[in-house]
A and B are shown apart, each in its own frame.
Chain A
């Protein structure tokens, strides 16, 4: 069987909408279901019913009460609402926030914004495997710590944090605990009845749902209160105003229903594919897996190819759609802050590739990818003076480079 290129191995950036999800959405796009806030005519009623069904599906996946689910325009908004909303509401308790250096930008930049308006923040470094050390976390909490935010699954390296243990520490200290679970739904089981988590952010488009819709879990018992960030018609019990996109909500509900029903089988299949990819790449010389390989979702393989420059690597692998360890700013390549927080050198961060596997990935695609990577890495190393020096036994750290 031949493969169709480019091969999509960037499921953590976004997932294709599942055809079943698209099918569920279309009626709400083509027929008149109206504005769910319009209570006075039946168009509005139908929309409201669909919205509440979807809310139930989202709640079911994470074992929460539907009344604990607030719709947002996506995980970025959920993170902003949770962090700013809780920090501002409870600022009487204190103005210190603890988070992790490897959080998503939507968390880091939101905490930065709070720092700008008078909060203090601790950005805890993870261990070199990407996981949070519980004792270091405990030590980072202060009497005036109001909120901690730790992601469940990291978007770049796929490691799974021990949310239960971290949450228990927060409970002991009376700290509100927010978890960004955008990358986790459909990949790890989440039981909010048991987890000591107060606020949790979700995204639809990372779980085969549509873009532009997300949700925030807001615990009812004990009740967590938030200062609204989007003001207006008072939708979502005043927590999030703005006309809800019925078709997108319906899509998220359907996507989360499918995730709940198929997660187990799907993860087993994806794990086999990931292990096959890892086996095909790890015997190349001088490759490094980034992040703990065990406490990690099966969908993710993040790997650095030493002595290969990042941008040329991206050019070389244009037949596969992947993310690389460098964010392209207009003038320069910034190495991934996540990999740097693990203590990786800039060069290794630049030369990393994140492969993320998903529902529609095939074994043929994995084999093609292995073959392509082996060829291209070989070619680029053939071109690399650093590889030549390494093979000649020269320690690159002993070389005096003329910085330019």
Chain B
């Protein structure tokens, strides 16, 4: 198993590990994957009133590439608008971390986690729609 230096760096020193209050209306939570598949990612983002992501946290049960992919996207998400965040593609993660083909699913999972967190946030911030 040859991991790139960047994967190893994120694995050894993961950035932004932790948990935000999932009941906070400014926090969006995305949980994707399944234990049986060997990967579960929980990604949380916190937006300020200008719609800018000011904090991001993650926890990941998964291989080194999954941990690195989620750690990397928390770094990328901070300071981005929600629209910019939605533009993050798994291919960028693959490229940044030099993931081998068998690990591309880790980057897909990270992209899915962002989308899930954004959807959760959107649902929270439009309570009328959510109630209906």
Contact flag (A, B; Cβ within 8 A): yes
Query: Which residue on chain B has the smallest CB distance to residue A402?
Result: B32
Given contacts A311-B38, A315-B64, contact A385 B59 (CB under 8 A): yes
- 17 intermolecular pairs with C-beta atoms under 8 Å apart: A308-B61, A309-B61, A309-B62, A310-B38, A311-B62, A315-B63, A315-B64, A330-B102, A331-B102, A384-B40, A385-B41, A385-B60, A386-B61, A387-B61, A388-B19, A403-B34, A404-B39
* Chain B residues within 8 Å of A333, by CB: 38
Given contacts A333-B38, A384-B60, contact A402 B102 (CB under 8 A): no
* Chain B residues within 8 Å of A307, by CB: 61
Query: How many Å lie between the Cα of A328 and that of B102 in the bound state?
Result: 12
* Residue pair B67, A401 in contact (C-beta under 8 Å): no
Query: Which residue on chain B has the smallest CB distance to residue A332?
Result: B102
* Chain B residues within 8 Å of A386, by CB: 35, 40, 61
0/1 interface trace, chain B 30-70, chain A, CB 8 Å (1 if under): 01111111111110000000000000000111111011000
Number of B interface residues, CB 8 Å?
31
- Within 63-85 of B, Cβ neighbours of A (below 8 Å) are at 63-64, 66-67
* Residue pair A312, B40 in contact (C-beta under 8 Å): no
Most buried by B among A307, A315, A346, A385: A385
Query: How many Å lie between the Cα of A315 and that of B65 in the bound state?
Result: 11
* Chain A residues within 8 Å of B98, by CB: none
* Residue pair A382, B62 in contact (C-beta under 8 Å): no
Query: How many Å lie between the Cα of A328 and that of B34 in the bound state?
Result: 20
* Chain A residues within 8 Å of B42, by CB: 385, 388
A-B pairs, top 6 by smallest CB distance, nearest first, are: A401-B34, A311-B63, A385-B42, A385-B59, A384-B61, A386-B61
B-side residues, CB < 8 A to A, are 1, 3, 11, 14, 17, 19, 31-42, 59-64, 66-67, 102, 105, 108-109, 112
* Residue pair A385, B17 in contact (C-beta under 8 Å): no
* Chain B residues within 8 Å of A330, by CB: 102
* Chain A residues within 8 Å of B38, by CB: 309-311, 333, 347, 350
* Residue pair B33, A401 in contact (C-beta under 8 Å): yes
* Residue pair B60, A383 in contact (C-beta under 8 Å): yes
Given contacts A382-B17, A383-B17, contact A388 B59 (CB under 8 A): yes
Query: How many Å lie between the Cα of A348 and that of B60 in the bound state?
Result: 17
* Residue pair B112, A404 in contact (C-beta under 8 Å): yes
Given contacts A333-B38, A388-B59, contact A383 B67 (CB under 8 A): yes
Does A396 lie at the interface of the complex (its beta carbon under 8 Å from any beta carbon of B)? yes
* Chain B residues within 8 Å of A315, by CB: 1, 3, 11, 63-64
B36 touches which one: A308, A382, A401 (CB < 8 A)? A401
* Chain A residues within 8 Å of B102, by CB: 330-332
Given contacts A309-B62, A309-B63, A404-B34, contact A385 B11 (CB under 8 A): no
Query: How many Å lie between the Cα of A260 and that of B19 in the bound state?
Result: 57
* Chain B residues within 8 Å of A404, by CB: 32-34, 37, 39, 105, 108-109, 112
Min Cβ gap B4→A in Å is 13
* Residue pair B40, A385 in contact (C-beta under 8 Å): yes
Query: How many Å lie between the Cα of A23 and that of B64 in the bound state?
Result: 43
Add 19 more A-B contacts to A330-B102, A332-B102, A383-B14 (CB < 8 A): A309-B38, A309-B61, A309-B63, A311-B62, A311-B63, A311-B64, A315-B11, A315-B64, A346-B36, A350-B38, A383-B60, A383-B67, A385-B31, A386-B40, A388-B19, A401-B40, A404-B37, A404-B108, A404-B109
0/1 interface trace, chain A 309-335, chain B, CB 8 Å (1 if under): 111100100000000000010111100
* Residue pair A312, B63 in contact (C-beta under 8 Å): yes
Min Cβ gap A321→B in Å is 14
Query: How many Å lie between the Cα of A315 and that of B3 in the bound state?
Result: 10
- Within 353-404 of A, Cβ neighbours of B (below 8 Å) are at 382-388, 396, 401-404
* Chain A residues within 8 Å of B59, by CB: 383-385, 388
* Chain B residues within 8 Å of A310, by CB: 38
Query: Which residue on chain A has the smallest CB distance to residue B65?
Result: A311
* Chain A residues within 8 Å of B60, by CB: 383-385
Min Cβ gap B117→A in Å is 13
* Chain B residues within 8 Å of A332, by CB: 102
Query: How many Å lie between the Cα of A402 and that of B116 in the bound state?
Result: 11
* Chain A residues within 8 Å of B35, by CB: 347, 386, 396, 401
* Chain B residues within 8 Å of A385, by CB: 31, 40-42, 59-61
Query: How many Å lie between the Cα of A401 and that of B38 in the bound state?
Result: 12
Query: How many Å lie between the Cα of A308 and that of B59 in the bound state?
Result: 12
